[in-house]
Amino acid sequence: MCGIVGIIGKENAADILLQGLEKLEYRGYDSAGIYVTNGQGENHLIKSQGRIADLQKKMNGDVNGTIGIGHTRWATHGRPSERNAHPHTSENGRFTLVHNGVIENFEEIKQEFLQDNLMEGETDTEIVVHLIAYFSERTETTKDAFRQALSVIQGSYAFALIDTQEPEVIYVAKNKSPLLIGLGDDFNVICSDAMAMLQETSRFVEIADGELVIVRADAIRIEDQVGNLVFRESYEAQLDLNDIEKGTYPYYMLKEIDEQPSVMRRILAHYTNEAGETSVDPAVIDEAVHCDRIYIVACGTSYHAGWAGKRLLEELAGIPTEVHLSSEFSYNMPLLSEKPLFIFLSQSGETADSRQVLVKINELDLPSLTLTNVPGSTLSREAKHTLLLHAGPEIAVASTKAYTAQIAVLAVLASAIGRAKHEPAAAAFDLSTELSLAAAAMETIVNEKMMIGQLIEAFLADTRNAFYIGRGMDYFVSMEAALKLKEISYIQAEGFAAGELKHGTIALIEEGTPVIGIITDKKTAAHTRGNLKEVESRGAETLRIVSDSLAGKGDQLVIPEVHPLLSALVSVIPTQLIAYFATLHRGYDVDKPRNLAKSVTVE
């Protein structure tokens, strides 16, 4: 989704902004722009629809300056176009601004303050820069004008603002959208994601919602809503530049699929003690032991991981668990139990739909735990407790290692709670051994990736649609498998409970429709096989992903068997590879699917 970078105090500001924007490409965008000034009247505003490479071409290597801001835009209000791309400039040319988020009351602001202004594009952002210009004529300083504009704006935002009359400053503010200040020697940077500026600095300062920051080359000043000075310690970003490079891989997605066995081992190392016992923050366990129901709240792939989590928490910890889509939860809140515990699953920790639920939960003063891959992310900061996924940065839009990491950490959590509650199922579950076996099984499958690529080349070559079916844990994986396939290969895919097909959806099966069955559960294997036969008799082409102990003649993808509670960790890997290869065969960009963003920071 939209990304912001800014720099003040370095000669080659334009190059640094471009590099930063490239690092944000993975988040998804449709246009980009930069504004660079040398502070002595040489100002450059360059915008472009399409890729950063297009923007770079337009810059033609002759943009000089020491101060600048840059932006990647993922369209919300107004089509992707050069006109709508950021930065936006006030009519008098004095103020230039970039924005992430959504201004909810932009129509009202236009009516009340800006009726005489000519808008160039259709974005909600453009009104903000005009509003600042409007207030600047009625207040003493730019800071006051900015603050006044902030006081009338409703919605989510991260802003970076440059005033040509004060070119030694970048003004910054945020509410609900992420933004960080990076500290350098005689220069400072701003960014919506630390990755963007990691090549410049690894020392960052967080900004809280409602704060306004005055960033100079040699100092930053953070003020709260009423102008009081705020002191905040900086922190060292625990990110390695190598982790965010593709290395020899053609795509991040393939690298991240391959990393999954080592992520499992890393999770074990983080969450087990020397005796091999699970070790989780006692405050989290205490909270869970005293709750009467767990509510898992998440979106997309994380939501699918939540279903595997439900099974783990109910079986190992003995706690009834519900799984909810964040975007539905706040508006259709279920009747809550007396002592609920909320678990937010979010790779990025920034998903706006999940955050808005957390805000409500905090207002109700209910306990919450975030499982996230990004330390210091909004959902992590705002929840009462956090457990980290330790998956390393996930760059591909299609989430892979975060899904398996979420399930593994949920397994750790469920096992630790179950043991604290003396649940017999938890006592019998040897997490270290089972997770290590799952990691080895995952490794076996990733090592066979080329075979999977060949197998599905013809199977999914020209199809318009495809189905995944399974029961129980295999159904949960089917939902995730279908999401993966559709989001990057654009094949219309659905994940179904195998038994449910005959209640309607089987009408869609035609000659040659691909149906992939996932079979890892002894109890339901025969039934799922029966459902595959039903679709075959109606012309479907079937492919079976089957655990080795259940495999039969003709099963195309036989995978190692692991503990049934962890089967999703293993059965999902071939489905990730199927999505990857189907996309490659169809000639699409695996890492940057159309219309999608990595971190979805609007509701």
Residue nearest to ligand M6R (CB): 300
Out of 2, 191, 291, 299, the active site residue is 2
Question: What gap in Å lies between CA 258 and CA 448, rounded to an integer?
Answer: 11
78: phi then psi, degrees, rounded to nearest 5: 100, 145
The correct pick among 33, 101, 167, 300 for binding ligand M6R (CB under 6 A) is 300
Helix, coil or strand: residue 557: strand
| Phi, psi for residue 276 in degrees, rounded to 5 | 80, 10
Indicate if 2 belongs to the active site. yes
CB 422 to ligand M6R: min, Å: 33
Which range in 246-254, 309-317, 331-339, 395-403 contacts ligand M6R by CB under 6 A?
395-403
Q: Can you tell me the distance from the alpha carbon of 390 to that of 372, in angstroms, rounded to the nearest whole number?
A: 8
Nearest CA-CA partner of 136 in 145, 148, 127, 123: 145
Which distant-in-sequence residues (6+ apart) come within 8 Å of 230 by Cβ? 208, 211, 222, 223, 224
CB of 440 to ligand M6R, least distance (A): 25
For residue 4, give Cα distances in angstroms to 24, 143, 180: 8, 20, 10
CB of 121 to ligand M6R, least distance (A): 27
Residue from 123, 192, 301, 321 binding ligand M6R (CB under 6 A): 301
Nearer Cβ to ligand M6R, position 348 or 489?
A: 348
* 358 binds ligand M6R, rule: CB under 6 A: no
Task: Choose between 88 and 486: whose C-beta lies nearer to ligand M6R.
Answer: 486
- Angstrom CA distances, 280 to 50, 123, 179, 263, 288, stand at 45, 46, 30, 17, 12
The residue within the footprint of ligand M6R, chosen from 37, 43, 354, 370 (CB under 6 A), is: 354
Q: Return d(Cα 151, Cα 504) in angstroms, integer.
A: 52
Instruction: For residue 302, state whether it binds ligand M6R (rule: CB under 6 A).
Output: yes
Nearer to ligand M6R, 419 or 484 (CB): 484
Of residues 215 through 274, those in contact with ligand M6R by CB under 6 A are none
Q: If binding is defined by CB under 6 A, does position 370 make contact with ligand M6R?
A: no
> At its nearest, how many Å lie between ligand M6R and the CB of residue 31?
21
Q: How many chain residues interact with ligand M6R (CB under 6 A)?
A: 16
The answer to the question of residue 346 lying near ligand M6R (CB under 6 A) is: yes
Q: Report, in Å, the least distance between residue 502 CB and ligand M6R.
A: 28
Provide the minimum distance between the beta carbon of 346 and ligand M6R in the complex, in angstroms, as a whole number.
Answer: 3
Q: Considering the rule CB under 6 A, would residue 398 count as an interface residue with ligand M6R?
A: yes
CB of 356 to ligand M6R, least distance (A): 12
Task: Say how far apart CA 30 and CA 49 lie, in whole Å.
Answer: 6
Helix (H, G, I), strand (E, B) or coil at 165: coil
d(CA 449, CA 573): 9
Please state, as a whole number, how many other Cβ atoms lie within 10 Å of the Cβ of residue 299: 20
DSSP code of 144?
H
Peptide bond into 87 cis (omega under 30): yes
Is the four-CA dihedral 126, 131, 137, 143 of positive or negative sign? negative
Give residues with Cβ within 8 angstroms of 198, minimum separation 6: 23, 237, 239, 241, 244
Are the C-beta atoms of residues 543 and 456 closer than 8 Å to each other? yes
Instruction: Tell whether residue 299 is a contact of ligand M6R (CB under 6 A).
Output: yes
Q: What is the 3-state secondary structure (H, E, C) of 353-384?
A: HHHHHHHHHHHCCCCEEEEECCCCCHHHHHCC
Stretch that binds ligand M6R, among 88-96, 347-355, 444-452, 584-592 (CB under 6 A): 347-355
Which of 332, 314, 316, 315 minimizes the C-alpha distance to 324? Answer: 332
d(CA 372, CA 508): 38
Task: Return the number of the residue (215 or 374) whose C-beta is nearest ligand M6R.
Answer: 374
Nearest to 601 by CA among 100, 85, 6, 99: 100
Quick check: 28 binds ligand M6R (CB under 6 A)?
Answer: no
Asked whether the CA dihedral 119, 124, 128, 131 is positive or negative, the reply is positive
In the bound state with ligand M6R, the residue whose beta carbon lies nearer, of 37 and 156, is: 156
| Bridge pairing between strands 368-372 and 340-346 | parallel
Q: Compute the least distance from the CB of residue 529 to ligand M6R, in Å.
A: 29
The only residue of 179, 191, 535, 600 in contact with ligand M6R, by rule CB under 6 A: 600
By C-beta, is 559 or 600 nearer to ligand M6R?
Answer: 600
Of the ranges 79-87, 106-114, 198-206, 393-401, which one interacts with ligand M6R (CB under 6 A)?
A: 393-401
| 525 versus 579: smaller Cβ distance to ligand M6R | 579
Is 394 among the residues that bind ligand M6R (CB under 6 A)? Answer: no
Q: Which amino acid is present at 13?
A: A
Active site residue 598: yes
Q: Shortest gap between Cβ of 175 and ligand M6R (angstroms)?
A: 19
Closest to ligand M6R by CB, 480 vs 555, is 480
Nearest to 52 by CA among 76, 83, 73, 77: 73
The DSSP call for residue 334 is P
Answer for which of 348, 489, 542, 576 binds ligand M6R (CB under 6 A) is 348
The CB-of-505 to ligand M6R minimum distance in angstroms stands at 22
**351 forms part of the interface with ligand M6R (CB under 6 A):** yes
Among 1, 397, 442, 579, binds ligand M6R (CB under 6 A): 397
Q: How far is the CB of 376 from ligand M6R (least distance, A)?
A: 14
Nearer to ligand M6R by C-beta: 308 or 397? 397
Residues 399 to 458 in contact with ligand M6R, rule: CB under 6 A: 399
Which of 217, 345 has the CB closer to ligand M6R? 345
278 binding ligand M6R? (CB under 6 A): no
Q: Is residue 356 a contact point for ligand M6R (CB under 6 A)?
A: no
Residue 347 is a binding residue for ligand M6R (CB under 6 A): yes
Angle at which helices 282-289 and 401-420 pack, to 10 degrees?
Answer: 70
| Under rule CB under 6 A, residue 584 binds ligand M6R | no
Q: Binding marks (x or -) toward ligand M6R, 482..511, rule CB under 6 A?
A: -x---x------------------------
- Single out the segment in contact with ligand M6R by CB under 6 A; choices: 107-115, 282-290, 310-318, 394-402: 394-402
**What is the DSSP annotation of 211-261?**
-EEEE-SS-EEEE-TTS-EE----EE----GGGGS-TT-S-HHHHHHHTHH
Distance between CA 341 and CA 313 in Å, rounded?
Answer: 12
Catalytic residues: 2, 598
Residues that bind ligand M6R in the complex, under the rule CB under 6 A: 299-302, 346-348, 351, 354, 397-399, 483, 487, 599-600
